Chains A and B, each alone.
Chain A
């Protein structure tokens, strides 16, 4: 399959920090690709550069074979984007917001009306089309914005933290729509998220980003498999780390939330010996690796330790970065 996006040495520096540090990435047509990382890792900045809203300091990218620096107008016609913060006007109705979008994208009237009907159907908002957006729930508003992003049939749809701040049920809904879109319309979807479960469930491939750099790229399945074996989570006073590291089946020892996480081959077989070495433990838990463990493995810390999750702190950070 063709590469719909090719990112070459993309870099964005602000006064003191390098928000995006020399990123190279190729994304194939039809993929759901995730940019996973803690807040402030550079995901949104990458997205804003790809969507031509912020100029890169150096490097470039092509989307649908158009260069984001040299051909921004053509790039804009090829993409749809759903922003992190609400971007619909709440004093307009859902229908009016979509109509506005149709005009901004210079769609002929009959096509515009047909697409509005089509996308509202897709996100189950047909019966709310004439309600003011301020009467929508957070999840409905996000669905409306997704619908809007699709109206002009973009080749690539960008979703910036699509389920941030939504309740579990709305998140499930949004996930369903994203999967449906990808299957039915063959749209390439790039999403940023700091939710591991979201990345795991949706993405065909993902890139873990930390401090502006891509740490690792792969499918969720492969990334987890590459860690090898199982995770043993142990709560104990102290651990004899050197001795444990000498065991050839122990691959990695990390600190997770004050407990110890050991990545080992075949935990069922080797648990006895490990516990023998550690001595007294308060609790033990064995599980197969998750993306949390992948993140921990490559960055040395948990994604949640890196920053507060969601809520006002995130908003504050986001605003300051604007």
Chain B
């Protein structure tokens, strides 16, 4: 009971702070829309895959991109918590470190899911107004998409927290973005199909867990996918479980 209440407390704090900082919510929505309109619109003018236009093609990719950036970047807040003494206040409370980690995961995942739900809503509006076509939105596909993204997000938030728990300065986090987040994004098939890859590129893409999230969500929403959706989901689940285990360990070893 005590541990659950503690987890709830940490979740409550993250979500309260996130929704209170309007700029964080707004900027997290603006960036994907820029990708959608500028990259999607610009490249889409001359690129399409089969009968699917490019903007439609990258819409699932942009959902994952948002999840990826916002989840991993969530780890920077733990560095701030350590920099002031908030982290100590939490660590000195009579609860387990595993529970602290779980509370943080739920908090970060909820923040990300709020953004995803806004982007899905915008997507539905685009379909209704005819800006987008060929996306199969219904209660079922939206539900599956959210489940997919939730599981992915849990794994990605764990990565952010693992990195954050080991870092001492927020500045260093920028490097992580360059060395972890961008490669994971570009090597995920978010922007291009992964059917006919050059042989040297294929292993990187297949080793990237984000690839399977993109593939699964694209399969659900547009109906194009390389693997079957159950397989994608399985890989994502395994990825997230491994990350949770590493994260639990990292939190136990975290120094203050």
Contacts and interface: CB of A to CB of B under 8 A. Distances in A.
Contact of B85 (A52, A84, A92): A84
B95 interface: yes
A103 B82 contact: no
A91 B9 contact: no
By size class, the interface of chain A is: 20 to 34
Contacts of B168: 322
Contacts of A92: 13, 16-17
Interface stretch (A57-65, A73-81, A208-216, A255-263): A73-81
Nearest to A102: B9
A85 interface: yes
A104 interface: yes
Nearest to B7: A103
Contacts, number: 73
Interface in A67-119: 73, 76-77, 79, 81, 83-89, 91-92, 96, 100-101, 103-106
A74 to B, nearest CB: 8
A54 interface: yes
By size class, the interface of chain B is: 20 to 34
A105 B84 contact: no
A106 B88 contact: no
B117 interface: no
B90 A104 contact: yes
Nearest to A158: B92
Contact of B13 (A76, A89, A105): A89
B73 to A, nearest CB: 17
Interface of A: 48, 51-54, 73, 76-77, 79, 81, 83-89, 91-92, 96, 100-101, 103-106, 148, 319, 322
20 contacts: A48-B256, A53-B256, A73-B94, A77-B94, A84-B85, A86-B84, A87-B86, A89-B86, A91-B16, A101-B93, A103-B9, A103-B12, A104-B5, A104-B9, A106-B2, A106-B6, A106-B94, A148-B89, A322-B82, A322-B256
- What 8 pairs between A and B have smallest CB-CB spacing? A103-B9, A106-B2, A83-B85, A87-B85, A104-B93, A76-B94, A85-B85, A87-B89
